[in-house]
């Protein structure tokens, strides 16, 4: 991916990203197999913008023959610590370092929006084999949960995005019009210590460019808010994964 300074900021927080970011539920991979109309086991899969390997690890565990593509040196370093057995090449979604017609499934886990679709769509077409699939997904907090809706409001206010749409279905509105996507949403949850929840927030790209002082101030106030909601110190997070697959 040719990334903005906001996207590149992830490299500064690669270790925190690896430690605190949520993974994805097994039901997501089930849905991917259904929409791609093929099992992941034995499939040649390229995970683009792989980051620290959250999605790659799940694809690999399903038996896919995965190669990861990641532009950031910090993220790539964390990836190699996590998945030393999985091939990793440095590159981006606009100029894929992959042979033409070499891949059964291209995956972008929370990474497609960093690409230039004028370049990434033709690149996807180039590297996919006949009958192959392009799979894009995003993991968003479930804004139908009251405490999450309240937190989203505070985040949008902080970042000057009061008019942004928190609805996860908004992820589907920017899909390339020239491709025929089937879509699916998968709900899931995890329970984590409050410290983990706050550390995960701190890895968001908006915080990474906000600055340390302002981030600490917001997170301290957020700790006070959530301590009242979860007095036992365990935050019950809920997520919605928005999946789009084009064959």
pLDDT, tens digit (0-9, with 9 covering 90-100), for 15-34: 888 888 999 999 999 999 99
| Domain annotation covers residue 221 | no
At 209 the pLDDT is 86
Domain carrying residue 127:
5-142+167-189+238-246
Residue with tokens 């009958």: 131
Report the alpha-carbon distance of residue 201 to residue 13 in Å, rounded. Answer: 11
Domain count, the chain: 1
| Domain annotation covers residue 198 | no
pTM across the whole model: 0.91
| Domain annotation covers residue 217 | no
What are 86-139's pLDDT values in tens digits? 999 999 999 999 999 999 999 999 999 999 999 999 999 999 999 999 999 999
The number of C-alpha atoms within 13 Å of 239 and in the hemisphere containing its C-beta is 21
| Domain annotation covers residue 218 | no
Residue 89: CATH number of its domain: 3.40.50.150
Q: Which structure tokens are listed for 134?
A: 């392009």
pLDDT range class, residue 5, cuts 50, 70, 90: very low
The whole-chain average pLDDT of the chain stands at: 92
| Domain annotation covers residue 69 | yes
| Domain annotation covers residue 135 | yes
Neighbouring C-beta atoms of residue 229, cutoff 10 Å: 13
At 43 the pLDDT is 98
| Domain annotation covers residue 67 | yes
Neighbouring C-beta atoms of residue 144, cutoff 10 Å: 13
Bridge-based pairing of strands 103-109 and 88-89 is unpaired
Is residue 163 scored above 70 in pLDDT? Answer: no
| Domain annotation covers residue 118 | yes
At 4 the pLDDT is 46
């Amino acid at each position: 991916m040719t990334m903005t300074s906001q996207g590149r900021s992830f490299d500064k927080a690669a270790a925190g990203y690896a430690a605190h970011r949520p993974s994805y539920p097994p039901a997501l991979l089930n849905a991917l197999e259904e929409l791609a109309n093929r099992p992941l086991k034995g499939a040649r899969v390229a995970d683009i913008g792989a980051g620290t390997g959250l999605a790659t690890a799940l694809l690999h565990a399903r038996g896919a023959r995965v190669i990861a593509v990641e532009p950031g040196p910090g993220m790539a370093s964390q990836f190699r610590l996590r998945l030393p057995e999985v091939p990793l090449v440095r590159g981006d979604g606009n100029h894929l370092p992959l042979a033409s017609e070499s891949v059964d499934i291209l995956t972008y886990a929370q990474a497609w929006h960093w690409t230039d679709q004028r370049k990434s769509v033709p690149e996807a077409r180039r590297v996919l084999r006949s009958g192959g699939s392009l799979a894009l997904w995003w993991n968003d907090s479930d804004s139908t949960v009251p405490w999450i809706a309240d937190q989203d409001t505070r985040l949008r206010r902080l970042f000057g995005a009061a008019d942004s749409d928190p609805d996860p279905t908004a992820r589907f509105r920017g899909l390339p019009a020239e491709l025929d996507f089937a879509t699916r949403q998968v709900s899931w949850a995890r329970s984590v210590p409050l410290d983990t929840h706050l550390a995960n927030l701190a890895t968001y790209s908006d915080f990474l460019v906000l600055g340390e002082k302002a981030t600490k101030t917001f997170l301290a106030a957020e700790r006070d808010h959530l301590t009242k909601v979860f007095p036992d110190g365990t935050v019950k997070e809920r997520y919605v994964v928005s999946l789009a697959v084009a064959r």
